[in-house]
Amino acid sequence: MKTGQLDVLLGLQWGDEGKGKVVDYLSSRYDIVARYQGGPNAGHTVVVDGKNVVLHTIPSGIFHDEVKNLIGNGVVVDPITLQREFELLHQLGIDAKERVYLSRRVHLILPTHRWLDLASEAAKKKNKIGSTLRGIAPTYMDKTGRNGIRVGDLFTKGFVEQYQNLKSKHLRLLEMYPPVEFPLEEEEEKWWNAIDFVRTLQIVDGEQWIWQALEHNARILAEGAQGAMLDLDYGTYPYVTSSYTGSAGVCIGLGVPPSYIDEVIGIAKAYTTRVGSGPFPTEIEGEMAEYLRQKGHEYGATTGRPRRCGWLDLVQLRYSARLNGVNRIILTKLDVLDELEEIPYAKAYKIDNTISTSMPYRLDDVPIHPVYITTEGWRTSLDHITSWEDLPGEVLDYVELIQHSVEVPIHGVSVGPERHQLIPRY
Ligand code: GDP
Ligand code: IMO
Ligand code: MG
């Protein structure tokens, strides 16, 4: 029984495609926005009254007064970051407490999860994942290992003991690693204060809350974090995150059957970026990479690290679109390419002298040489354009070649960070 609508919006590359901006733009069409995986490793930027606001845990529908926002059970929450986000929104005049709902089944990130993340990364030395150090992998490990602590546990008698037991286990694990500094006492104090705050939030059985909303005809947008190539199973393993970033993750992370999902909206950047370690076939270095980084402000929204930059990769994009059943794409950051004479994009991979258009098992096993083609640049500024008809022919050519190759229609393009800088096609 489902009567409303459930659409999914997810990143098709290595994250930071502009999901936050597009969710904010689309939110006026929905009653509920629900995050279904990831945690404070995410950084979703929304420009509000000319100011950049970065959300880590709270869904990007929060800037619309009439939209409710659910943090679904597939998300891992750090109470400290969550409280800080509420405070930030409060300073902006937004009473998020009224419109944010937290699933009882959400797993909590403990200070010692962050310490373990730090120790594990330090021990990996040059093979480090480039984690955001937010404790994501250790928390999901405790979830699958059946040791985790959930929001619902905050209200049980044994909660403090549960915390102490898990912390003791972590301290024993930490002995296996070379020592790394961590201000545990200070972080624990903040954590316990934040726990008191979390207890005051609207806590619900997320899956039943969603079913009920759908029965009352609600329109729901599931907001993904990270991107398809960071998915635990289908991304560039082991250089991935620890959750299911794709459309399948919606079922697990919100408690809805696959048959409930309507549209799957994929967000793709007009070029490609990646932050952290791991293979990236179309990565470029030198002046052009620096140009894209500066023009696109390609610095991590969560960690501030410079993002690695490169060209659009159609092999990768086709794979992500197919994997997730994407039926429309929104192409972002086209304006970053405004001044280029020519725009290269990869159509295939050359591996051991064989040309292939399918995704190999590993991207870091043997050298992959992208087969580049170039398309003509538009050499004009797009940021003021508001209607599809006014887009230069070269932009339409780029859009056409992408949708032809990926076999998914492009339904809109984004030409700037502000909400209004999104040009719908239909
Ligand atoms: P997310 O993680 O997918 O939500 O993306 P991030 O917020 O981490 O990174 C996207 C960055 O690009 C942010 O700084 C956005 O404000 C900005 N942005 C989004 N769309 C556009 C666009 O179309 N053009 C430009 N120039 N910037 C954009
Ligand atoms: P949004 O939602 C870009 C990357 C990290 C690292 C790897 C594993 O803003 O697109 P983790 O902390 O999850 O253990 O790190 O995944 N990563 C992201 N890269 N955007 C993100 O989120 C990311 N979240 C994690 O840089 O390489
Ligand atoms: Mg981001």
pLDDT tens by residue, 382-425? 999 999 999 999 999 999 999 999 999 999 999 999 999 999 99
Residue 187: per-residue pLDDT: 98
Given the CA of residue 302, which atom of ligand 1 is nearest to it? 8
Ligand 2 atom closest to Cα of 230? 16
Q: What's the gap in Å between 38 CA and the centre of ligand 2?
A: 9
pLDDT band at 355 (very low <50, low <70, confident <90, very high): very high
Q: Is 113 a catalytic residue?
A: no
The Cα 347–Cα 138 span in angstroms is 37
Q: What is the pLDDT of residue 302?
A: 86
Q: Which amino acid would we find at residue 96? A: A
Question: What is the residue-averaged pLDDT of the chain?
Answer: 97
In a shared domain, residues 234 and 363 = no
Domain total of the chain: 3
Q: Give yes or no for residue 18 having a pLDDT over 90.
A: yes
At 203-259, the pLDDT tens digits run: 999 999 999 999 999 999 999 999 999 999 999 999 999 999 999 999 999 999 999
The predicted pLDDT at position 248 comes to 97
Q: Are residues 70 and 155 in the same domain?
A: no
Residue 57 has pLDDT above 90, yes or no: yes
Single out the catalytic residue among 7, 24, 44, 313: 44
Q: Indicate whether residue 412 lines ligand 1 (CB < 6 A).
A: no
Mean pLDDT of 50-73: 97
Q: Please check whether residues 69 and 163 belong to one and the same domain.
A: no
CA of 305 to the centre of ligand 1 (A): 15
| CATH number, position 117 | 1.10.300.10
Residues 32 and 121 in one domain: no
Select which of 16, 31, 231, 313 is catalytic.
16
**CA pair distance 253, 256, nearest whole angstrom:** 8
Q: Which residue minimizes the CA distance to atom 27 of ligand 1?
A: 417
Is any ligand 1 atom within 6 A of the Cβ of residue 83? no
Asked if residue 19 and residue 77 are part of one domain, the reply reads yes
For residue 268, which amino acid is it? A
Q: Residue 113 — very low, low, confident or very high, per pLDDT cuts 50/70/90? A: very high
Q: Of 48, 62, 163, which Cα lies nearest the Cα of 108?
A: 163
Q: Are residues 241 and 291 in the same domain?
A: no
pLDDT for the residue 128? 95
- pLDDT of 426 reads 82
Q: Are 167 and 114 in contact (CB under 8 A)?
A: no
Predicted local distance difference test score (pLDDT) of residue 221: 98
Q: For ligand 2, say whether the CB of 325 is within 6 Å of any of its atoms.
A: no
Indicate if 21 and 113 belong to the same structural domain: no
Ligand 1: centre distance to CA 128 (Å) = 26
306: domain CATH number? Answer: 3.90.170.10
Does residue 171 come out as left (phi exceeding 0), alpha (psi in the -120 to 50 range) or beta?
alpha
121 in contact with ligand 1, CB cutoff 6 A:
no
pLDDT at 1 over 90: no
In this structure, the answer to whether residues 187 and 217 fall within a common structural domain is no
Same domain, 148 and 284: no
Same domain for 9 and 22?
Answer: yes
User: In terms of domains, do 18 and 79 share one?
Assistant: yes
Substitution candidate for ligand 2 out of 55, 129, 132 with most atoms within 8 A of CB: 132
Active-site residue 65, yes or no?
no
Q: In the numeric block, which tokens belong to residue 27?
A: 């939110």
- Which of 198, 230, 250 is the last residue in one of the domains? 198
Domain of 220, in residue numbers: 5-106+202-265
**Mutation pick for ligand 2 pocket among 13, 139, 140, 230 (CB with most ligand atoms within 8 Å):** 230
pLDDT over 70 percentage in the chain:
100
The arithmetic mean of pLDDT across residues 354-362, rounded, is 95
CATH of the domain at 49: 3.40.440.10
Domain end (from 175, 198, 221): 198
What pLDDT score does 366 carry?
Answer: 86
Please give all residues whose CB falls under 5 A of ion ligand 3, grouped by chain where several chains appear.
16, 43, 301
* Stated pTM of the model: 0.98
Looking up tokens 């495609």 gives 17
Is 22 close to ligand 2, i.e. is its CB under 6 Å away?
Answer: no
Per-residue pLDDT reduced to its tens digit, 260-311 = 999 999 999 999 999 999 999 999 999 999 999 999 999 998 889 999 999 9
Distances (CA, A) of 415 to 64, 260, 270, 332: 22, 32, 10, 7
CA distances from 271 to 10, 216, 402, 417 (A): 17, 40, 11, 15
307/396 same-domain check: yes
Helix (H) or strand (E) holding 254: helix 248-254
